[in-house]
Amino acid sequence: MDNKELLTMIRQRAMTWTGEEYDPVTRQEVKELLKDRSKESELVDAFYRDLEFGTGGLRGIMGAGTNRMNIYTVGMATQGLANYLLRQFPGVGSSSVAIAYDCRNNSRLFADTAAGIFSANDIDVYLFDDLRPTPELSFAIRHYGCRAGLVITASHNPKEYSGYKVYWDDGGQIIAPHDVNIIAEVKKIKSINQVKRDPNPERIRMIGEETDKAYLEKLKELSLSPGVVERQDDMKIVFTPIHGSAVRLVPMALRSYGFKNIISVAGQDVTDGDFPTVVSPNPEEAAALEMAMDKARETGADLVMGTDPDADRVGIAVKDNTGSLVILNGNQTASLLLYYILKRWEELGRLTGKEYIAKTIVTTELLADIAGKFGVECYDVLTGFKFIAGLIRKYEGEKVFVAGFEESYGYLVGDFVRDKDAVLSCALIAEAAAWARDQGKSFYDMLIDLYIEFGLYRENLFSVVRKGKSGAEEIMAMMERFRNSPPETIAGDEVMTVYDYLKQKSFDTISHLRRDIDLPKSNVIQFLLKDGTLITIRPSGTEPKIKFYIGVRGKLESREDYPEVCRQLDERAGKILGALGIS
């Protein structure tokens, strides 16, 4: 199909959205796209395909069009999900869903739309009365005995985006076989005329403070050092929700633990889907924490914490040994949190030999070392917290889940939530920092102590952006090159093992033995070098980029050596990247 034919097809698709079955605002928006030739590229992007319902749900730019997030694409996805639930659990009133939403523009509208469609299909709905953190949605599913759950969020994406994330009855994001089965049902919905749009208010129950209370009570049970917090309750904590859904729950959680000196960032406590004070509401980016760090410098705070819009990720900053604030990365925070938890479990006599932790394959190996020190198993899973939730379900009643981690600032402790949880993470991170302070140490001191004991693990993430169709083809070609012609050496070091998660095989270059990888298929390749360096290469699932994770390790003899060893390891990572042909 040439460009002219494609544009004709797109204009025909767009014309259907000017019919009476669409609301006046949508009709007018589409008419303007059709009329204004300067908006042709916008028209193409809005209608050239249907917004894809993937293994987690929907995510896209908001606006009119088949490739946009709007009440019609949300409605069709919801009808598909409702049909699947009705097939799985036949009978009127046999299914119920919980629905939450974040601070983004149109989030409440999309949540109400979905609630109405579920109710029209005789499915009971527990709908939050205001914005709530995603992890509380996970909790609510199990708390109310729901068959599924839905949260309207685009996580930390830019303000133009919204999303639709689906959960199953265990409180975890959907995984096989439900993910592919739901996708198949959604694909059967070809028209909005297939969507039941007559809400039944009797099937919609509003929930709010009573759910918050139950969630916070479970969260408080995770506290390991109430006496420490009582002694350190004056520790200054700056917290920012970055305009998002943690604005109430994180301060409430901190206070329930006993912290009294919680300092807010007034300009960012305002719920606003335009995120007016930041370029990106992503705590992985230093700029998102700038206002909070300024407040910490002004007040002399010991700890800075910032959560993303749906409150499943948290970034932190602490004082280094010079008193300057430094941002810790996700691997560092995870390591500190895990060490604190396992050390306290050991001191409290909770370790019985049946405990385990989970981490994604791109998360620091330091976690495995820490777990090993305490006799705790460590499982690796593919990138995505849904796989950690799947592991919890697999071993439920057999082993004790302690915590799960992903390097992209996502942590979970305990199993009453089945997704990464920034609310409980903030409470336990603050408690861990207070524990260090109670021993006359800073959180930063505690991190350096870990590196001296276990080795200085240094993880670097490099992303190569390749936009458009040609970019996607280039990324695919890169993956094929690494898969079909793996290097024998990288930056002068021998490749010992190649892990191909798409083929679900590993290859030992010394023994030439091939072994099965007992994880689902995924387009990921890893190279383990002789010096212990682990290189992971994978295309992003949500952005036009390919990611290179390079984990190097060195010996740290003293605190004074830390800057120099970091420099050496970063230099090593740069040479590895160059050897891979990436600049």
Active site amino acids:
155
Q: Which residues pair with 164 in a beta bridge?
A: 58, 152
Residue burial 318-346, b: 16+ Cβ < 10 Å; e: rest: bbbeeeebebbbbbbbbbbbbbbbbbbbe
Q: Which residues contact 129 (CB under 8 A, 6 or more apart)?
A: 206, 207, 208
**Cβ pair 95, 147 in contact under 8 A:** yes
The H helix count followed by the E strand count for the chain is 18, 23
The backbone region for 409, taken as left when phi is positive above 0, alpha when psi lies in -120 to 50, beta otherwise, is left
Alpha-carbon separation of residue 277 from 154, 241, 242, 290 (angstroms):
18, 12, 8, 10
The full DSSP string for 208-259 is -HHHHHHHHHHHHTT-S-HHHHHHTTT--EEEE-TTSTTTTHHHHHHHHHT-
**Cβ pair 359, 367 in contact under 8 A:** yes
Around Cβ 486, how many Cβ atoms within 10 Å?
15
DSSP-H helix ranges across 348-384: 366-373
Q: Which two tokens stand for residue 401?
A: 């889940």
Q: Which residue, chain included where needed, has tokens 């909770």?
A: 350
